[in-house]
Structure 1
Amino acid sequence: MTTMSLDPDTPFALARYRAGDETRVGLVVGDRIRPLGSDILGRDGLNGFLGSPDWDRLGAVVSAEGEWMPLSGVTLTAPVEPRQVLQAGANYRQHVIDLVVAGLTQDQTRTPEEARVFAAKMMDDRAANGEPYFFIGLPACVVGDDVPLVLPSYSDVHDWELELAVVIGAEAFRVTRDDAMSHVAGYTIINDITTRDLVFRKDMKEIGTDWYRAKNAPGFLPTGPFLVPAPFVDPSDLNVRLELNGEVMQDASTSDLLFGIPALISGASQTMPLLTGDVLLTGSPAGNGQHWKRFLRDGDVMTGTIQGLGTQVVRCVAEESR
């Protein structure tokens, strides 16, 4: 990944960067970054701070003298240190409608218009009466600026899914939707890479999906570059846009989420506590490689932008050429 400057409308954000053999927490303002030690954070480490974030404390540092460095002069890594990664599937209304319509029109018993009306009603009923669909990822797959996306040689159908990711602040366990947002520390960008031909087991079709093999190769969760504080973000209507080699593939708004962030946090927290620093992916809109019948190749460059959260650039490298 290659990092650009922070959105000028975002007062500041957090990042993590390499300093020799160490990884440090940094405060990002525009195109500059400075280290944040426990004396400034008021806590030990990033997750210690996120458990009870004092954004005003960091805001006071924005204009202070200190060890400011150009962002271009440091190597960023993932801006989070999750112990758990929760992922929401089939959560963009229009995307799921398109998938349902494609399935319903294969046998020609419905016209595309009839199928779309049926699918839209199905999604609206799901949003009103259903529950979010979750699966889990491996925290070890979360990587940042210092790691290219190596495309495993066992498949030619590695796909992209750009997503808004919620970073958990105070631990959330069986919280209500009304209380859920008080457990959000901030937001970041994650590209949920998926190997399409491994999603469904061919040898045990009755078991269904195999998310472990399909989504958890090394580096399959490119994350960041920034962790933007929750007070600076209105997640209800953010543009989510991914370009592949300069061509727009995904371009949608989080306003199309079937289950919004309060519903996702509440739903996920009913089973297991969401811990400080964990990330919760909210789903990906239409326009992945499966839709375009075009999958990732050696040399591809994905540029993912979410409004207010910055831009993530991921470069793909074939495994055999590594």
Structure 2
Amino acid sequence: MELLRLGPIGHEIPVVRNDDVHYDLRPLTTDIDGEFFADDGVTRVRAALDEGGLEPLNEAQTLRIGAPIAQPSAVVCVGMNYAAHAKEAGGEPPERPVVFFKMPSTIAGPYDRLELPPYATKADWEVELGLVIGTRAFRVASAKEAYSHVAGYVLANDLSERRFQIEESGGQWSKGKNLPGFTPLGPWIRPAAEVDPGSLRLRSWVNGQVRQDSSTSDLIFDVGQIIHQLSQTMPFEPGDVILTGTPQGVALSGKFPFLADDDLVEVEIDGLGRHRQVVTVTQ
């Protein structure tokens, strides 16, 4: 079962895909957002499918695929969270999760064009496992309990402008993380019960050449540890998105050039789909 939002930007239709058929969710919800998850939307959709109460969306194949979540109150990110990536960056594995924030307005669809301003000369790709919070999580008692707060998982590209992030950051990574379109999500959210987040292959390509190829088994802090630790100092609400970090193979390593005009960036996680973004440098 896959939750999607299809249609033009700002006018997406909530949809579920099941056995390769797209069903219209508008009889159940106006959108796939925090309210949907707070109202146990995943369970309600599954029940409606079992009962045969949803109608196919016949024009689904002709519609743009948007980000599968609308208007999260927060996008919280964990950095330096793969052992090989920490080594690649020349640092020691962190003892606590490294946290930064992205504005919800950075969220884009998985195939939307990536437009960079001319001064974004060090734009970088980052394939990441994202998770969507299903129930409020604050002061969660344990890493094991934390998994019960996850509604589903989603593929993300945590795009970064390294000059702003590092050279002109003022000590704040978020400065290099918040250009428009810098958080493509999708194509879908897969319910948590259908995903093993500890054993997923992640890959990225630029112009067809492999850049990253790793597994979530290399995570320093797994999904449960991230939610448990971060929830001690910040409450997560239904619909919030957490990005769990990226593996080795980014341009920041010095092994590859940063993104340029007409580059094609692709990211993929097994079971969570694939993104395709064409870079355009605007004037």
- TM-score, normalised by the number of residues in structure 2: 0.90
* Secondary structure at the counterpart of residue 224 of structure 2: helix
Residue 223 of structure 2 is aligned with which of 257, 261, 266? 261
State how 1:110-189 maps to structure 2 within 5 Å.
Answer: 123=93, 126=94, 130-145=95-110, 147-176=112-141, 177-189=143-155
Q: Give, in whole Å, the separation in 2 of the partners of 1:31 and 1:302.
A: 26
**Unmatched 5+ stretches in structure 1:** 1-11, 104-121
**Which residue is 2:17 aligned to?**
28
Do the aligned partners of 2:100 and 2:174 also contact (CA within 8 Å) in 1? Answer: no
Matches within 5 A, 1:57-72: 57-60=47-50, 66-69=55-58, 71-72=60-61
Matches within 5 A, 1:91-102: 91-100=81-90
Larger Rg computed on CA atoms: 1
Partners of 1:137 and 1:91 in 2: CA distance? 17
Letter in 2 for 1:180: A
1:30-87 CA distances to partner (integer Å, 9 max, x unpaired)? 55422102x4x3x5642333122305314426x7672333643111211012110000
After TM superposition, give the deviation of residue 178 of structure 1 in Å.
2.3
Report the CA distance between 1:227 and its aligned residue: 0.7
Residue 278 of structure 2 aligns to a residue whose secondary structure is strand
| Contact kept? 1:31, 1:70, Cα under 8 Å | no
Q: Give the 3 Å change call, closer, same or farther, for CA 161–153 of structure 1 in structure 2.
A: same
**How far apart in 2 are the matches of 1:56 and 1:34?**
12
The 1:45/1:71 distance shift into structure 2, 3 A limit, reads closer
Aligned to 2:67: 78
C-alpha separation in 2, matches of 1:171 and 1:191:
25
In the alignment, the residues of structure 2 paired with residue 281 and residue 15 of structure 1 have an alpha-carbon distance, to the nearest angstrom, of: 18
The amino acid of 1:215's aligned partner reads K
Point out where structure 2 has 5 or more consecutive residues left out of the alignment.
Answer: none
Q: State the one-letter code of the partner of 2:262.
A: G
Deviation at 1:197, TM superposition (A): 1.1
Tell me which moved more, 65-74 or 184-193: 65-74
Aligned-partner SS, 1:236: coil
Give runs of aligned pairs for residues 234-273 of structure 1, distance below 5 A.
234-273=196-235
Specify the alignment match of 1:228 in structure 2: 190
* Contact 2:24–2:54 (8 Å) recurs in 1: no
One-letter identity of the residue aligned with 2:146: A
CA distance in structure 1 between the partners assigned to 2:128 and 2:10 by the alignment: 30
Could you tell me how far 1:319 is from its partner in structure 2?
Answer: 1.1
| 1:301 to 2:267 alignment | no
The two structures, once aligned, show a CA RMSD in angstroms of 2.2
Q: Does the 8 Å CA contact 1:31/1:71 hold for their aligned counterparts?
A: no
C-alpha separation in 1, matches of 2:96 and 2:77? 14
Secondary structure in structure 2 of the residue aligned to 1:136:
strand
Q: Is the 8 A contact 2:114 2:181 kept in 1?
A: yes
Identity of aligned residues (%): 34
Residue 146 of structure 1 deviates from its aligned partner by 6.6
**Residue 212 (structure 1) aligned to one of 174, 178, 184:** 174
User: Deviation per CA, 1:116-170, whole angstroms, max 9, x where unpaired?
Assistant: xxxxxx53xx5xxx32111111000011157311012113111101100011001
Question: Does residue 282 of structure 2 align to residue 319 of structure 1?
Answer: yes
Query: Size of the alignment, in residue pairs?
Result: 276
Give TM-score scaled by structure 1 length.
Answer: 0.79
Q: How far 1:20 moved relative to its partner?
A: 9.1
Equivalent-residue separation in structure 2 for 1:149 and 1:237 (angstroms)? 29
